[in-house]
Amino acid sequence: MKKIGEIPKIDRPREKLINRGVESLTDHELIAVLLGSGSKKRDVMSVAGEILKVIDLGKEQPDIDEMQKIEGVGPVKAAILAAALEFARRRIKPAGTKISVPSDVVPLINHLSDRKQEHFICISLNGANEVISNRIVSIGLVNRTQVHPREVFADPITDRASSVIVAHNHPSGELSPSVDDIEITNLLKNSGEILGISLLDHIIFSHKGYYSFMDNNEL
């Protein structure tokens, strides 16, 4: 990871935002802008990377206490980040979004396409195929150890969801499902049938696009 001083000025997060627009920034860069600076010991990009990990695992709310455990983050910076995320959550809510086709899911997950690790996501839906919640279940290699039905369905059960859509990113960019991806899909489908919660789709995505198990008649 490059330090802020090693990045050409035009490509630094704040300058990039001003010159190319906020949509051109990665999540990592957006956090760096919010932080403004790092600490005497840690560069802002390094601090932002650690915060991003905490936020990804924080489900619906950022964990302020966990953020403050990161060197370079005090109560002021943690409060700024928490306020910014809460403001965004209130203004742009995935809840209620109607899912009709797989491409409707992509805007809800595409911000994770640049992650260097696989992120497994579960989207809870009501009987009208409207989003109840969108959560990261696990970070790391997608296999039976990391993605167990009890972890995937725990929150949808609480949500009283009628169905779920799961998704995960492939950091390599490859969109074809692996043997593990197929096994996990079948396991979740069978588990969902027992619980009365349908698995509507499993989407694999990257910066190159997405692959839908449903579109390919594999569910």
Tokens of 206: 């990257």
On whether both 111 and 66 belong to a single domain, the answer is no
Cα(73)–Cα(92) distance, integer angstroms: 26
Domain hosting residue 206, numbered range? 102-212
Kindly tell me if the per-residue pLDDT of 144 is higher than 70. no
Query: Average pLDDT, stretch 35-63?
Result: 77
Tokens of 102: 């797989």
Q: Which of 14-18, 51-55, 121-125 has the lowest mean pLDDT?
A: 51-55
Query: pLDDT at position 91, please?
Result: 64
Give the pLDDT band of residue 58 (cuts 50, 70, 90): low
Spatial separation of the C-alpha atoms in residues 70 and 54, rounded to whole Å: 9
Tell me, yes or no, whether 96 lies in a domain.
Answer: no
Boundary residue ending a domain (91, 117, 152): 91
Q: Which residues contact 14 (CB under 8 A, 6 or more apart)?
A: 33
pLDDT at 63 over 80: no
Nearest to 108 by CA among 178, 210, 217: 210
Is position 180 within any domain? Answer: yes
pLDDT, position 190: 96
Average pLDDT over residues 170-174: 91
Q: Is residue 217 part of a domain?
A: no
**Cβ–Cβ under 8 Å, residues 133 and 175:** no
Higher pLDDT among residues 187 and 69, named by residue: 187
My answer on whether 115 and 208 are in the same domain is yes
Question: What's the mean per-residue pLDDT of the chain?
Answer: 86
Number of domains in the chain: 2
What's the average model confidence in pLDDT over 117-130? Answer: 93
Mean local confidence (pLDDT), 131-157:
84
What pLDDT sits at residue 31?
A: 87
pTM over 0.75: no
Model pLDDT, residue 163: 96
What does the pLDDT read at residue 198?
96
Number of helical H runs and strand E runs in the chain: 8, 5
Residue whose token pair is 């969801």: 161
Residues 198-203: what's their mean pLDDT?
97
Residue 119 has pLDDT above 60, yes or no: yes
pLDDT value of residue 95 = 67
Three-state SS at 127? coil
